[in-house]
Amino acid sequence: MSNPTIETIKKRRSVRSYSDKQLNESDLNEILQAAVHAPSGMNYQTWHFTAILNSEKLAELNRLIKQAFAKSDEPRLQERGNNPDYCCYYNAPALVIVSNDPAQWWAPMDCACAIENMFLAATSLEISSCWINQLGTTCDDEEVRSFITSLGVPEHHKVYGCVALGYASPETRLKEKVLHQNTITIVR
Ligand SMILES: Cc1cc2nc3c(=O)[nH]c(=O)nc-3n(C[C@H](O)[C@H](O)[C@H](O)COP(=O)(O)O)c2cc1C
């Protein structure tokens, strides 16, 4: 028998096309509270969540990430960096940068727990979401770093992921999710 939590877990999907509608203050706070209530190794809670709801700042962040990509040796990243239509956060109205102290051994796992909590809280509030990884590889680019510092990301933190949040645009069609077989073993 299912319950609302399990239904929410199964309902959550990554959405990559958003309308302009912004989250209301109460929903945003619930989602950020879900993040800070996540488990963390040794209960260190060394993470930081920087929520950006300003479309100009988001566009500037995307521009700087693309500028960093354009400098890369990898053709795939160069292509993204030079593509005028590329938006790493899919034009979502809100983005939460999830960062942590890289010297703290549990940092990536703690961030992943907090990110999933945000996804599930968002899903339960009928808000769509997606993991956005592009700042993970570019957060130490000089110009990206200077900009995210100005937004409030602690200077010594690495970015482990970002959470795009918003309302799916009406034309969004999700591919059916096919679960891999034989990924579970139960030993009795
Ligand atoms: C660690 C991690 C990194 C991811 N990075 C991205 C990303 O940068 N951009 C993106 O569109 N989706 C990203 N995703 C979403 C996955 O592509 C998605 O979860 C997967 O295709 C399964 O689809 P579902 O989330 O709809 O179940 C990421 C997911 C995880 C767990």
- pLDDT tens across 92-115, in order? 999 999 999 999 999 999 999 999
> Dihedral of CA 44/46/47/49: which sign?
positive
**CA 77 to ligand 1 center in whole angstroms:** 17
* pLDDT surpasses 80 at 38: yes
3-state SS, residue 36: helix
By CB neighbour count within 10 A (0-12 exposed, 13-18 middle, 19+ buried), where does 173 fall? Answer: exposed
Query: Are 128 and 166 contacting, i.e. CB atoms less than 8 angstroms apart?
Result: yes
Q: For the whole model, what pTM was predicted? A: 0.97
Looking at residue 1, its pLDDT comes to 74
Query: Are 42 and 100 contacting, i.e. CB atoms less than 8 angstroms apart?
Result: no
Ligand 1 near 137 CB (within 6 A): no
The arithmetic mean of pLDDT across residues 146-165, rounded, is: 98
CATH of 4-166, one of 3.40.109.10, 3.20.20.140, 1.20.140.10, 1.10.3720.10: 3.40.109.10
| Residue with CA closest to ligand 1 atom 7 | 132
Distance CA 108, CA 164 (A): 18
* Most informative mutation of 10, 12, 14, 174 for ligand 1 (most atoms within 8 A of CB): 14
* pLDDT surpasses 90 at 188: yes
